[in-house]
Protein backbone atom coordinates (compact mmCIF):
# COMPACT_ATOMS: atom_id res chain seq x y z
CA UNK A 1 0.00 0.00 0.00
CA UNK A 2 1.56 3.27 -1.13
CA UNK A 3 -1.01 5.69 0.28
CA UNK A 4 0.20 5.83 3.86
CA UNK A 5 3.59 6.13 5.53
CA UNK A 6 5.22 6.35 8.92
CA UNK A 7 7.13 9.60 9.36
CA UNK A 8 9.99 9.88 11.86
CA UNK A 9 9.75 13.19 13.70
CA UNK A 10 13.01 14.69 14.83
CA UNK A 11 13.32 15.13 18.59
CA UNK A 12 15.01 18.35 19.66
CA UNK A 13 16.17 17.03 23.00
CA UNK A 14 18.41 18.55 25.58
CA UNK A 15 19.05 17.97 29.26
CA UNK A 16 15.57 19.33 30.08
CA UNK A 17 13.68 16.81 27.98
CA UNK A 18 12.25 16.52 24.47
CA UNK A 19 10.51 18.78 21.96
CA UNK A 20 9.11 18.02 18.52
CA UNK A 21 8.03 20.74 16.07
CA UNK A 22 5.54 20.08 13.28
CA UNK A 23 5.61 22.43 10.29
CA UNK A 24 3.30 22.41 7.29
CA UNK A 25 4.95 21.46 3.98
CA UNK A 26 8.13 20.59 5.89
CA UNK A 27 7.98 17.52 8.13
CA UNK A 28 4.17 17.50 7.70
CA UNK A 29 3.53 16.74 4.00
CA UNK A 30 0.74 19.31 3.54
CA UNK A 31 -0.42 22.75 4.66
CA UNK A 32 -2.07 22.33 8.09
CA UNK A 33 -5.64 23.69 8.29
CA UNK A 34 -6.99 21.81 11.30
CA UNK A 35 -5.74 20.11 14.44
CA UNK A 36 -7.86 17.91 16.70
CA UNK A 37 -7.17 15.39 19.39
CA UNK A 38 -8.87 12.25 20.62
CA UNK A 39 -8.63 11.21 24.25
CA UNK A 40 -10.65 9.41 26.92
CA UNK A 41 -11.61 6.64 24.49
CA UNK A 42 -13.41 3.91 26.40
CA UNK A 43 -12.00 0.38 26.54
CA UNK A 44 -13.10 -1.89 23.70
CA UNK A 45 -14.28 0.99 21.48
CA UNK A 46 -13.48 0.99 17.75
CA UNK A 47 -13.30 4.48 16.22
CA UNK A 48 -13.03 5.57 12.61
CA UNK A 49 -14.70 2.99 10.36
CA UNK A 50 -14.75 5.40 7.45
CA UNK A 51 -12.65 6.78 4.62
CA UNK A 52 -12.24 10.34 3.40
CA UNK A 53 -12.80 11.38 -0.18
CA UNK A 54 -10.08 14.05 -0.23
CA UNK A 55 -8.71 14.56 3.29
CA UNK A 56 -5.06 13.89 4.14
CA UNK A 57 -3.98 13.59 7.75
CA UNK A 58 -1.00 13.00 10.01
CA UNK A 59 -1.72 11.18 13.28
CA UNK A 60 0.57 11.15 16.31
CA UNK A 61 0.02 9.20 19.53
CA UNK A 62 1.16 11.89 21.96
CA UNK A 63 0.54 9.53 24.89
CA UNK A 64 -0.37 5.87 25.25
CA UNK A 65 -1.12 3.67 22.27
CA UNK A 66 -3.72 2.41 19.83
CA UNK A 67 -3.84 0.26 16.71
CA UNK A 68 -4.73 1.53 13.26
CA UNK A 69 -6.18 -0.71 10.60
CA UNK A 70 -5.72 0.78 7.12
CA UNK A 71 -7.45 -0.72 4.10
CA UNK A 72 -7.18 0.40 0.48
CA UNK A 73 -9.76 -2.11 -0.73
CA UNK A 74 -7.10 -4.63 -1.71
CA UNK A 75 -4.96 -4.98 1.35
CA UNK A 76 -5.22 -4.36 5.12
CA UNK A 77 -2.29 -3.24 7.25
CA UNK A 78 -2.14 -3.06 11.05
CA UNK A 79 -0.07 -0.32 12.64
CA UNK A 80 0.55 0.22 16.33
CA UNK A 81 1.00 3.88 17.23
CA UNK A 82 2.78 4.25 20.55
CA UNK A 83 5.56 6.75 19.99
CA UNK A 84 5.17 10.58 19.98
CA UNK A 85 8.19 10.77 17.66
CA UNK A 86 6.40 8.88 14.86
CA UNK A 87 3.56 10.23 12.72
CA UNK A 88 1.21 8.13 10.61
CA UNK A 89 0.45 9.92 7.34
CA UNK A 90 -2.83 8.76 5.76
CA UNK A 91 -3.87 9.88 2.30
CA UNK A 92 -7.41 10.14 0.95
CA UNK A 93 -9.57 7.11 0.13
CA UNK A 94 -8.19 4.78 2.77
CA UNK A 95 -10.58 3.00 5.08
CA UNK A 96 -9.38 3.38 8.69
CA UNK A 97 -10.33 1.85 12.00
CA UNK A 98 -8.70 2.55 15.36
CA UNK A 99 -8.87 0.05 18.18
CA UNK A 100 -7.12 -1.22 21.32
CA UNK A 101 -6.85 2.27 22.80
CA UNK A 102 -4.90 2.39 26.02
CA UNK A 103 -6.73 4.27 28.76
CA UNK A 104 -4.24 7.14 28.61
CA UNK A 105 -4.15 7.38 24.79
CA UNK A 106 -4.07 10.89 23.34
CA UNK A 107 -4.08 10.99 19.53
CA UNK A 108 -3.31 14.29 17.85
CA UNK A 109 -4.40 14.63 14.23
CA UNK A 110 -3.28 17.28 11.75
CA UNK A 111 -5.46 17.69 8.67
CA UNK A 112 -5.09 19.48 5.35
CA UNK A 113 -8.74 20.63 5.31
CA UNK A 114 -11.36 22.10 7.62
CA UNK A 115 -13.99 19.72 8.97
CA UNK A 116 -16.47 18.68 6.30
CA UNK A 117 -19.00 15.95 7.07
CA UNK A 118 -19.64 15.28 3.38
CA UNK A 119 -16.00 14.23 2.88
CA UNK A 120 -16.70 11.03 4.88
CA UNK A 121 -17.46 7.66 3.26
CA UNK A 122 -19.06 5.71 6.10
CA UNK A 123 -20.26 2.61 4.31
CA UNK A 124 -17.59 0.02 3.43
CA UNK A 125 -19.42 -1.18 0.29
CA UNK A 126 -19.69 2.43 -0.95
CA UNK A 127 -15.96 2.79 -0.31
CA UNK A 128 -15.20 -0.31 -2.42
CA UNK A 129 -17.39 1.05 -5.22
CA UNK A 130 -15.73 4.46 -5.14
CA UNK A 131 -12.18 3.12 -5.36
CA UNK A 132 -13.10 1.05 -8.41
CA UNK A 133 -13.85 4.29 -10.30
C1 LIG B 1 -9.95 10.11 11.30
C2 LIG B 1 -9.69 9.59 12.66
C3 LIG B 1 -8.22 9.42 12.92
C4 LIG B 1 -16.01 17.71 14.35
O5 LIG B 1 -16.99 18.40 14.61
N6 LIG B 1 -14.87 18.28 13.85
C7 LIG B 1 -13.77 17.55 13.55
O8 LIG B 1 -12.76 18.13 13.11
C9 LIG B 1 -13.81 16.12 13.73
C10 LIG B 1 -12.61 15.26 13.37
C11 LIG B 1 -14.95 15.56 14.22
N12 LIG B 1 -16.02 16.34 14.53
C13 LIG B 1 -17.21 15.71 15.12
C14 LIG B 1 -17.91 14.71 14.21
C15 LIG B 1 -18.47 13.70 15.19
O16 LIG B 1 -19.72 14.14 15.67
O17 LIG B 1 -16.77 14.95 16.27
C18 LIG B 1 -17.48 13.73 16.34
C19 LIG B 1 -16.52 12.54 16.34
O20 LIG B 1 -15.87 12.49 15.06
P21 LIG B 1 -15.61 11.13 14.26
O22 LIG B 1 -16.72 10.19 14.48
O23 LIG B 1 -15.26 11.47 12.86
O24 LIG B 1 -14.30 10.59 15.03
P25 LIG B 1 -13.41 9.32 14.76
O26 LIG B 1 -12.55 9.17 15.95
O27 LIG B 1 -14.23 8.15 14.35
O28 LIG B 1 -12.50 9.70 13.49
C29 LIG B 1 -11.59 10.79 13.56
C30 LIG B 1 -11.64 11.63 12.27
O31 LIG B 1 -12.95 12.06 11.97
C32 LIG B 1 -11.16 10.88 11.08
O33 LIG B 1 -10.97 11.77 10.01
O34 LIG B 1 -9.25 9.78 10.38
O35 LIG B 1 -10.26 10.35 13.71
Instruction: State the distance from the centre of ligand 1 to the C-alpha of 116, rounded, in angstroms.
Output: 10
- Write down the mean pLDDT value for the chain: 97
How is domain 4-9+23-132 classified at the CATH fold level?
A: Jelly Rolls (2.60.120)
Confidence category of residue 111, pLDDT binned at 50, 70, 90: very high
pLDDT tens per residue, range 62-95: 999 999 999 999 999 999 999 999 999 999 999 9
pLDDT at residue 133 above 90?
no
Give the domain ranges of the chain.
4-9+23-132
Query: Which residue out of 3, 4, 36, 79 has the highest number of ligand 1 atoms within 8 Å of its CB and is therefore the one to mutate?
Result: 36
pLDDT at residue 43 above 90?
yes
d(CA 3, CA 56): 10
Residues found in the chain? 133
Strand ranges, E, within 1-133: 4-8, 34-39, 47-52, 57-63, 66-71, 76-81, 86-90, 95-99, 106-111, 120-121
pLDDT at residue 46 above 90?
yes
Structure-model confidence comparison of residues 124 and 2, the more confident one? 124
pLDDT at residue 1 above 80?
no
- Reported pTM: 0.96
pLDDT at residue 19 above 90?
yes
Model pLDDT, residue 2: 78
Q: Could you say which DSSP state residue 41 is in?
A: P
Provide the annotated active-site residues: 50
Closest Cα to atom 22 of ligand 1: 48
pLDDT at residue 13 above 90?
no
Region 96-104: what's the mean pLDDT? Answer: 98
Which stretch of DSSP H or E encloses residue 84? none
> Distance between the two ends of the chain, CA-based, in angstroms?
18
Model pLDDT, residue 53: 97
Amino acid sequence: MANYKLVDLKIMGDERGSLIALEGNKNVPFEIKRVYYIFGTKQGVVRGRHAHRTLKQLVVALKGSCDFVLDDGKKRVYIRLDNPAVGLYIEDMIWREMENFSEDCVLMVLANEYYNGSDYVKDYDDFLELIKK
